[in-house]
Amino acid sequence: MLTKAPPDASVTDAPRIDARVSGQRMECRLDGQWTTQSVASVDDELRKLETQSDVKDIAIDLSGVSKMDTAGAWLVKRLATAQEARGATVTIEEG
């Protein structure tokens, strides 16, 4: 479960998402630490991307992720699964 706790001061490399849509293609570049202590800060933004219905091809670029635990991996998988259910092709690139 993700909680809306205050940001963890020990996380200096907060998770970030840079999502760009061009036509029916969306490219999502993820950066920072995607861990239990930090991913709540990007949960709302990811939920919006999960419901984006005008894309058919999605690339999720993990090359900027400095650290990921199962909470971060779960959010990436949730995005991919939601978009695949909408008929999109999703690729995950590790860089």
pTM summary value: 0.86
Band of residue 1 on the pLDDT scale cut at 50, 70, 90 = very low
DSSP 3-54: --PPPPTT--S--EEEEEEETTEEEEEEEEEESTTTTHHHHHHHHHHHT--S
**What pLDDT is recorded for position 12?**
75
Q: 46-83: per-residue pLDDT in tens?
A: 999 999 999 999 999 999 999 999 999 999 999 999 99
Q: Is the pLDDT of residue 6 over 80?
A: no
In the chain, the N- to C-terminal Cα span, in Å, equals: 28
CB atoms within 10 A of CB 52: 16
**What pLDDT is recorded for position 11?**
56
